[in-house]
Every structure is written in structure tokens, then in C-alpha cells.
Amino acid sequence: MSDALDNLFANNQKWAAKMEAREPGFFTKLLSQQEPQYLWIGCSDSRVPANDLVGLLPGELFVHRNVANLVVHSDLNALSVVQYAVDVLRVTHIIVVGHSQCGGVRSALNGRRAGLVDNWLRHVQDVRDAHLGLLQRIDDPARRLDALVELNVLEQARNLCHTTIVKDAWERGQTVVVHGWVYGLHTGLLEDLRITANALDEVMPAYQQGLARVARRYLGEP
């Protein structure tokens, strides 16, 4: 085995010992229960460690990650995670989290070819095209990218709200609150994009509020 992999196993042993010393019986408890309140749908980017960002331990945050934090209605992987989180784990909050300077979003924004992933990022290009008028008014390329990151979060949060899984949960009176956040790589801080919905009739008002916030931030519109 390579030295790099040996280092990972050594780190794992240290981490496990530290967790057990801090809370004796920690791993035994994990065997018998998984009761997270939150589902995190985030980007695969290695710089965005979900549990660490919000200070939660294993067992406290259910996580799904993919390139550019997409919620696609034909993606059975993501939908299976959402269904299990909602119907089995009974999470109360689902959070779609994008991050600044996202490489996947950058590729979609610029039409840059990257290979097979281009087909996946076509969904982000659809977001780009839907908001092209706003994006073209932002002169700074870095700010234009971050605007699309935020717009993408809004769109994916809205997609999530319109899945049969979330709509069925709302119809039966189950509490499921959908949120859209963005993580700043340059600050280490999370920001609420103000798209929060707890019922189907809240989705469009929350989405419009989120769009207005993006326009204010990047265009200075009232």
C-alpha cells in the first residue's frame, strides 16, 4: 500500500480514538440509531466538508453530494436519498448548498468542455440561459460566476420542492422545510439565500424573494 494511503489509515485511527475518548461508547451508539434532522444536498467539491461546516457529528447530518449540487427529476440517486431522508429518517430540514467559485458552474457558464460531465452540467446551462439577461449585466467575471452559483441554488431548491417526495410529505402534513444556502470558500461562512419553503404555496414567493436578493446584490436593484 502506498504511503499516502497508509497516512489515511493512520489519520482514521487517531480520529476514532479521539472520538471515543471524547464520548465513550460513541460508535456503539451510532450502530443503534441514525436520527439526523437535516439532509444536506451539496457539491462534490473536496473543499466543502458538510459536517465540519455546521459543526455536526456523524449521525447528525444526512448528506448527498454531486457536481454543482443539482436536484434533477430524472436522477434516481438523488431522489432515492431524498425519499429515504424524508420517509424513513423523517428529516425536518433539507438544505441545498452551493459554494462560491464552483468549478462545475464555471464550466457551464463559459461553455467549457470537460468530457462526460458536460451532459450533467447541461442542467446548469439551462439555469444560465434562463437568467442570461441578469448575468450579462454583471461585468466582473468572478461576480458573474458567483451570481450563477446562487441562481443555481435557487433553481435546485425549487426543483426539490416540486419532487413528488416533498409534495407528498407536505400533503400529509409532515414538516419538511427546504432551504437554499451558499458557502463562501474565501470566508468559510454559510449564507442563507432566503429561499425557504414549508408548503407548496410558499415555493414561488420564496423563489421570487431569492431572485430579488440576487438582483440587489449583483445589480444594485431595489
- pLDDT score, position 114: 84
The pLDDT of residue 1 is above 70: no
- pLDDT score, position 19: 87
H helix runs in the chain, sequence order: 3-22, 26-32, 50-54, 76-83, 103-110, 117-130, 132-136, 141-161, 164-171, 200-219
Are 98 and 123 found together in one domain?
A: yes
Are 191 and 112 found together in one domain?
A: yes
CATH of the domain at 151: 3.40.1050.10
Predicted confidence band of residue 78 (pLDDT cuts 50, 70, 90) = very high
Cβ(67)–Cβ(43) below 8 Å: yes
> By residue range, what is the domain housing residue 199?
34-219
**At 192, phi and psi to the nearest 5?**
-80, 125
H helix runs in 141-199, sequence order: 141-161, 164-171
Average pLDDT of every residue of the chain: 94
- pLDDT score, position 221: 64
The Cα–Cα gap between 80 and 181 comes to: 22
How many CA atoms within 13 Å lie on the side-chain side of 142? 4
Are 51 and 20 found together in one domain?
A: no
Read off the pLDDT of each residue in 186-196 and give the average, rounded to a whole number.
95
The pLDDT of residue 50 is above 90: yes
- Name the more confident of 173 and 23: 173
- The set of catalytic residues is 43, 45, 47, 99, 102
Read off the pLDDT of each residue in 112-120 and give the average, rounded to a whole number.
92
Are 28 and 39 found together in one domain?
A: no
Are 99 and 196 found together in one domain?
A: yes
Are 42 and 3 found together in one domain?
A: no
- pLDDT score, position 222: 61
Read off the pLDDT of each residue in 23-41 and give the average, rounded to a whole number.
86
The pLDDT of residue 32 is above 80: no
